[in-house]
Amino acid sequence: MAIRKLLTLSRRPFLLSSRSASTSAAAALASPDPASSPAKPPVMLYDRLSEAVRSKIKRLDDPDPRFLRYASPHAALVDHTPILAAPETRITTLPNGLRIATESTLASRTATVGVWIDAGSRFETDETNGTAHFLEHMIFKGTESRTVRQLEEEIENMGGHLNAYTSREQTTYYAKVLDNDVPKALEILADILQNSCFDDKRIERERDVILREMEEVEGHTEEVIFDHLHATAFQYAPLGRTILGPAQNIKTITKEHLKNYIATHYTAPRMVISAAGAVKHDDVVEQVKKLFTKLSNDPTTASQLVAKEPAIFTGSEIRMIDDDIPLAQFAVAFSGASWTDPDSIALMVMRSMLGSWNKNAGGGKHMGSELAQRIAINEIAESMMAFNTNYKDTGLFGVYAVAKPDCLDDLAYAIMYEISKLSYRVSEADVTRARNQLKSSLQLHIDGTSPVAEDIGRQILTYGRRVPVTELFARIDAVDASTVKRVANRFIFDQDVAIAAMGPIQSLPDYNWFRRRTYLLRY
C-alpha cells in the first residue's frame, strides 16, 4: 500500500501544465551556461522509494524526542520490606494424599474456601474433549441429597457466592461466604464433588447451554486467537485442544463420560482444599477429614500423565482472512518455560519489559516499555499486550496486538524489533523498572480472600508448596540485564515462532519474515 502511494506521488512532478512549461523554459534561458556549473544527476524513482523507506525505519527507530525527554531515564530500586510480612500458609496432607492449605486473616469477616484439582482439558482425548468443562456445568445440577433448587437456595440464603472455572490444566470449585458459613460451604463442596447425580434430562438441557456459550466465545476474538495459537503451536498434542471442545463432542457426551472423568482425575492426591480469610486451619482439617471420604486414592499424578503425552512446540502459523472485521489482530509467540523452569521468573520480567498498551486508555508515549512508546508515538496499533503463559512442561511467550489493516507491516516490525532486541541490548534501568512493575502487579493481584485462595491452590498444584512473598521477590530481584539477555538467547534468538492472525490481514508479513526477525544481522 505504501509503495503504491509513493508511485502515485512520484508521477506528479512530471505532469507540467503549459504555464509551468513556459516558466521552466524562461528559467532555462536565464540560467547560466551548463558548462560553468556541474549538472546534478537526476533523482530516480527508486531512489525516492529507498529514501522513503529509510525515513520510515528511522522514524520507528528514533521516536520523537519531544515525548521521550519527559520519560524517567533511571528507575529506582524500591524497598518492599513493609509489605513482605504475610500471614503463614499452613499445609496438612491427609493419609489419602489430599492436601489442605489455609491462610488465616483475623481482621477479615469473610472467607473463600475451594477445591483446586490438577485436571483440565489437557487430560482428555480427541473423543472426550470438552468433558472437563461439561462436568463443571453439571456439578451444580443436583446431588443425591439436594435438588438444584435446594442447592441454589442454600447458597442464596447464606448470601454466599459459588463458582467454578476450567482451564487447560486445572479445574476449580470455590465458595465465598461469611466467616460463620465456612463449615456449610465445605459441606456443599464435598457433596457436589462426591455425590452429584447426572440426570439425563439435565445433561440434554446443558448441551444447548454450552453450545450457546460456544457461540458467545466466537464473538470474543481475543479468546479465538489464543485458541488458534495453541492449536497451531501444539499440533497433535492435548495442549492444543480447546477447553470447550468441538460441537460434535458436546452433542455426544454422556453420563458415563462424566463419571469416568471424575473417577480418573478427581483423585485425592491431585486435589488441594484451599481456604483464606476468616478460617482456622485445625477446624478446616477436621471438617475435611469427615466430609471428603469418597475420593479415589489413585497415586497417578498429573505430571506422570503429561510425560506420556508431552506438548511439543511447532513453528507454524494459522491465518483467517475476514474482510468483514474492521480491525486485524494477531499473536506471535515463542516456546516458553514451564512453571518449575528456573528461567520462568526472568520471562515474567521480560513480559513486563514489553508491557501492554491500549489506545482508549491514553498515554503510552511516556511509558517505560519501548515497544509501547513506538506504538503510541507512531499510532500503529489500537492495543497491544505481551503475554507469558506457563504449563507443566512448556509455555508460550509473545505479543498479541490489534491494529488497522494498513498499519500491520509497521506494527510487526516494531514488535519483532523489540522482542529480538532483548537478546542484544538491554539496559539495567529498563530491567529495574520491569521488576518493580512485576512485584507491584503480583501484590495487587492477591488483594482479597478469593485471589489468595486461588494463589495458594495453584502454587501447591504447580510447585508442591506455597512460595513465600520474600522468596518470590528475591528471585525477581535476581534478574538483571545479563540474565534477560541469556534467557532471550535461549527462548527467542533464532527460534521458531507460532503465529495466529484473523481479520483483514493481507498486509501482515509472511511467516519467513517473522522467522527472519528473531535475530539481527551485523554488517
Strand 99-104 to 161-166 pairing? unpaired
498 DSSP β-pair partners: 316, 333
Is 184 within 8 Å of 158 (Cβ atoms)?
A: yes
Determine the longest span between alpha carbons in the chain, in angstroms.
108
Q: Are 366 and 303 in contact (CB under 8 A)?
A: no
Identify the active-site residue in 124, 136, 370, 418.
Answer: 136
Distance CA 488, CA 346 (A): 9
Q: Which of 103, 206, 370, 382 is catalytic?
A: 206
Find the Cα–Cα–Cα–Cα dihedral 431, 432, 437, 443, rounded to 10°.
120
Nearest in space to 279 (alpha carbons), one of 512, 109, 421: 109
- Please give the order of strands across the beta sheet that includes 498-503: 316-321, 498-503, 328-335, 395-403, 383-390, 356-358
> Is residue 426 within 8 Å of residue 366, measured between CB atoms?
no
Contact 417, 62 (CB under 8 A): no
Residue keyed to cell 509497521: 410
Contact by Cβ (8 Å): 247, 72: no
- Identify whether 136 is a catalytic site residue: yes
Known catalytic residue at 206: yes
Q: Cα angle vertex 216, ends 210, 220, to 5°?
A: 135
**CB neighbours (10 Å) of residue 29?**
6
Cell (9 digits) for 511: 511467516
DSSP state of 322: -
Question: Which contacts qualify for 282-287: CB closer than 8 Å, 24 or more apart?
Answer: 283/182, 283/183, 284/100, 284/102, 284/113, 284/182, 284/186, 285/92, 285/100, 287/183, 287/186, 287/187
Closest among 105, 117, 94 to 460, alpha carbons compared: 117
Q: Give the residue numbers marked as catalytic.
A: 136, 206
